[in-house]
Structure 1
Amino acid sequence: MGGLSKPGCDLPEALVLEILSKLPVKSLTRFRSVCKPWFSSFQTPFFITKHLHNNNHLNLLHKGFCGDTRDGVYSFSQLSTEKGRNFSVKENFHLPFSGKGWSDLVVDGPCNGILCLELGDGCDKAVLWNPSTREFKILPQPPHSTSFDFLSLGFGYDSQTDDYKVVRFVVNYFEEDSDAGSMFEHNYQVDLYSLRSDSWKEISYPGVEPYDLPPFNCYINGVYYWHATQSSAHLILSFDMVNEKFSTLPLPQSQTSEGFYSHLLDFNGLLGAIFYPVEGTEKSFDLWVMNESWTKQFSIESVPGVEMLLGFWKTGELFIESLDHQLVLFDPSTRELKNLGIHAPKWSMQITAYVESLVPINARSEHEGRIIISRPARN
């Protein structure tokens, strides 16, 4: 770390490091050219971890879709969180991914500022992306049969080995000859990817089938949680990234998945589940929290014009997709609904809050990967 305070100041190196670790990634990227010691220090695991712990400012990413539903491209926008900006678009990103339609790509995470982008519906790709450093990595293909259906994916961090892992469920189809002739059979397969080794391995199938609903599933403190079914019963499936073990837990007893949407979420480090009805133009929300057992935390009554809940903001507001597929902010304390002026096709929108991070993913930069970044024109 010698020479950290070199550029024209007599401050102790530890203090300089502490100050720098609280700056946004964009500033640190510029400061890399100040001197070689700074450039080197910003890449050390010590500084990357310190920056992650010292940076609690949340960024907001909006995922949508540009173009028609067959030939369009996925779009990502960073929304401004500055006071008075009303979550206006700050930057646009257009990643070089395409698919058969707007429902193909979903976002898992975040985990230490990293997102996992899941391209389904025949694309069968998973992509790690750090939107702060603009790095992305298309994961290698895992081993599988020639005929398969992608089911679901989970993403998280193993703190013991400092490794990022992706869990992938597929169902394999194969032809089997019998006395009655050829028949198609199937089996389930679970693959686990390690970023550290950049490889997949097969792990045991837990006997529970997760839903392919990443916007409704979540990652919390080393554990990924899915909605799942077992013998037609609805429950929650979890995977511990450290011990690589699955387990299950029930939904709140007074709730079923029939006729209700259910979102799993991080509620102050605990597993939360929020329920609201599928039908109706006015919807009420019930939040339950798991702390040894399920406890109902609060209810929000009769919010009009709701198609789907997209997420919570840190001050308690709800991001909502309206019935006409606009992004709307609802403040439960004032009952105010504010249209944020962003539209996307039905079910294509996602809102993800993430912290800025220098965590490397051994990936291509935005220039190598041709990620296009644009800033909206100022009025």
Structure 2
Amino acid sequence: MDLPEEVVVNIIARLPMQSIVRFRLVCREWKSLTESAFFRDLYHSTSNSTSCNWSILYGDYRSLRPSLKQVKLDLPSSHGNNNPSFPFCFTPTNNEIKKITVVASTDGLVLLRLYEEDKKMIRYYIGNPVLPQWIQLPPPPPPKVDYMPFTDSGLVTRMHNNVALLGYKVVRIFSQALLFTSRTWRFETYSSDTGQWSITQVCRPGAALSRIDTSNPVTLNGKLHWLDHLGCIFVHDFFSHDDQVRAISLPEKLQCGPDTCRKIIFTTSQGYCVLVDAQLIEEVNSYNVRIWRLNSDCWSWGKAWEINMASVGLGSSCVPMAINYFDIDVIYLWDSEEKCFLAFNRRTLAKSYGARKADTFSSSKPFSCLSQFVPSLHVVPT
């Protein structure tokens, strides 16, 4: 007996994402249902959508057959992380490719950069590892000089009601603009709407001196946010016609310049840009952690919470790494003694340890932070 379409949609929307991805292959009708805006709205309104997330490591992977694999936190689902077992793997067919880099991830999409050293050629792939679906982008225009003046910077998306993916842009930045006293920035962007690369120039406020990490900005609502370690955050909306870059001052307590005993993580959680200020307090041999949240309506900072990790029995070996994408009260740490990830819930004071990763990470601090990838059913616009 055939079930009504509405009943089928309600049943499928409550299943784990692994099952939904498999069901898309059953028939054309189910594939059409799971790709509809109604299904996405229903799926995101269920509890499933708040528990499916994991983190991936930004980095280079070099081998005869290079590939990328997910970094799983292996933490209990009660902390909002079910670690679904999707294979996050991309293997090129050309063995001459020597370098693969995860450039960015946002709204369920991942941007890969493949570089062929012998041909001095860059290729970009954008895709959804969950479906899986990968699209090769047209190559950027060749540089007019021997070196490559534009460097990778990020990926921004245009969404409808935070559910439907309408379009995306790949952003490259003119590197020399950051080295000299320039008041303008030049971007080379690929737009899914036009299918072409273009160059734009924007004006930047404030002093020209900066210490910006252009390779890993925070993406939110079509904007890229670059952290300047000299005291502010630069923001630009790539889906607007604004030719200005906005400068946002950091919270006052963070405007004291670089500090070897302080770690600052810039990320997102619950739809906000978030700063994690982890300062090592030698007297108690632990980190004092402050969480700041940026209100984009008035571009002001508010302190979400603060805690001294010594008060919950966590010493300096437990290094803050990330905030949970869905819950700002859950922080992830790397325990260099136990060689595992640790989740701490500030509301409940609960601690959950993951599986040991001694064979995976040889360093006590394998990376500076984790960049979280949230699985989705978004079909990549072509």
**3-state SS of 2:193 partner:** coil
Question: Which residue matches 1:296?
Answer: 303
Structure 2: distance between partners of 1:240 and 1:61: 25
Are the aligned partners of 2:52 and 2:83 in contact in 1 as well (CA < 8 Å)?
Answer: no
Pairwise CA distance, 1:284: 1.9
Please provide the CA RMSD for this pair.
Answer: 4.2
Structure 2: distance between partners of 1:267 and 1:40: 31
Residues 159-206 of structure 1, C-alpha deviation per residue, up to 9 Å, x if partnerless? Answer: 379211222213269xxxxxxxxxxxxx96311221233322111144
Q: Paired residue for 2:267, among 265, 268, 292?
A: 265
**Compared with structure 1, are the counterparts of its residues 135 and 244 closer, same or farther at alpha carbon in structure 2 (3 Å cutoff)?**
farther
**3-state SS of 1:23 partner:** coil
1:214-363 equivalences under 5 Å are: 214=216, 217-228=217-228, 233-243=230-240, 245=242, 246-256=245-255, 257-259=257-259, 260-277=262-279, 282-291=286-295, 292=298, 293-302=300-309, 303-306=314-317, 308-313=319-324, 314=326, 316-323=329-336, 326-331=339-344, 332=346, 333-334=348-349, 336=351, 338=353, 340-342=355-357, 343-344=360-361, 346=363, 347-348=366-367, 351-361=370-380
Structure 1: distance between partners of 2:68 and 2:319: 20
Question: Which residue matches 1:171?
Answer: 175
Pairwise CA distance, 1:68: 8.3
**3-state SS of 1:140 partner:** coil
Structure 2: distance between partners of 1:46 and 1:26: 19
Are the aligned partners of 2:190 and 2:196 in contact in 1 as well (CA < 8 Å)?
Answer: yes
User: Which residue identity is paired with 2:249?
Assistant: P
Question: Which residue matches 2:32?
Answer: 40
Greater CA deviation, 146-155 or 191-200? 146-155
Structure 2: distance between partners of 1:124 and 1:283: 41
Structure 2: distance between partners of 1:294 and 1:56: 25
Q: Paired residue for 1:58, among 29, 48, 52?
A: 52
Are the aligned partners of 2:54 and 2:83 in contact in 1 as well (CA < 8 Å)?
Answer: no
Are the aligned partners of 2:102 and 2:110 in contact in 1 as well (CA < 8 Å)?
Answer: no
Structure 1: distance between partners of 2:376 and 2:231: 36
Pairwise CA distance, 1:129: 2.9
Could you tell me the percent identity over the aligned residues? 18
Are the aligned partners of 2:187 and 2:199 in contact in 1 as well (CA < 8 Å)?
Answer: yes
**Compared with structure 1, are the counterparts of its residues 336 and 138 closer, same or farther at alpha carbon in structure 2 (3 Å cutoff)?**
same
User: Which residue identity is paired with 1:21?
Assistant: A
Structure 2: distance between partners of 1:359 and 1:244: 26
Q: Paired residue for 1:140, among 138, 141, 151?
A: 138
Structure 1: distance between partners of 2:139 and 2:287: 41
**Compared with structure 1, are the counterparts of its residues 240 and 18 closer, same or farther at alpha carbon in structure 2 (3 Å cutoff)?**
farther
1:102-113 equivalences under 5 Å are: 105-106=101-102, 108-111=104-107, 113=108
Are the aligned partners of 1:118 and 1:153 in contact in 2 as well (CA < 8 Å)?
Answer: no
Structure 2: distance between partners of 1:15 and 1:89: 25
**Compared with structure 1, are the counterparts of its residues 46 and 335 closer, same or farther at alpha carbon in structure 2 (3 Å cutoff)?**
closer
User: Which residue identity is paired with 2:189?
Assistant: L
**Compared with structure 1, are the counterparts of its residues 252 and 77 closer, same or farther at alpha carbon in structure 2 (3 Å cutoff)?**
closer
Structure 2: distance between partners of 1:237 and 1:67: 30
**3-state SS of 1:340 partner:** coil
Are the aligned partners of 1:107 and 1:350 in contact in 2 as well (CA < 8 Å)?
Answer: no
Question: Which residue matches 1:156?
Answer: 156
Structure 2: distance between partners of 1:82 and 1:212: 34
**3-state SS of 1:162 partner:** strand
Residues 122-164 of structure 1, C-alpha deviation per residue, up to 9 Å, x if partnerless? Answer: 9855442312112223433323443135545122222379211
Residues 40-96 of structure 1, C-alpha deviation per residue, up to 9 Å, x if partnerless? Answer: 333445545654555333221343879889997543245556548997794554422
Q: Paired residue for 1:198, among 195, 214, 222?
A: 195
Structure 2: distance between partners of 1:65 and 1:36: 38
How many correspondences in the alignment?
A: 334
Higher relative contact order (CA 8 A, sep 6+): 1
**3-state SS of 1:285 partner:** strand
Structure 1: distance between partners of 2:73 and 2:351: 20
Are the aligned partners of 1:219 and 1:225 in contact in 2 as well (CA < 8 Å)?
Answer: yes
Structure 1: distance between partners of 2:64 and 2:24: 42
User: Which residue identity is paired with 2:277?
Assistant: F
Are the aligned partners of 2:55 and 2:372 in contact in 1 as well (CA < 8 Å)?
Answer: yes
**3-state SS of 2:308 partner:** strand
Using structure 1 for the length normalisation, give the TM-score.
Answer: 0.70
**Compared with structure 1, are the counterparts of its residues 138 and 68 closer, same or farther at alpha carbon in structure 2 (3 Å cutoff)?**
closer
Structure whose residues are more often strand by fraction = 1
Pairwise CA distance, 1:267: 3.7
User: Which residue identity is paired with 2:330?
Assistant: E
Are the aligned partners of 2:231 and 2:254 in contact in 1 as well (CA < 8 Å)?
Answer: no
Are the aligned partners of 2:227 and 2:233 in contact in 1 as well (CA < 8 Å)?
Answer: yes
Greater CA deviation, 120-129 or 57-66? 120-129
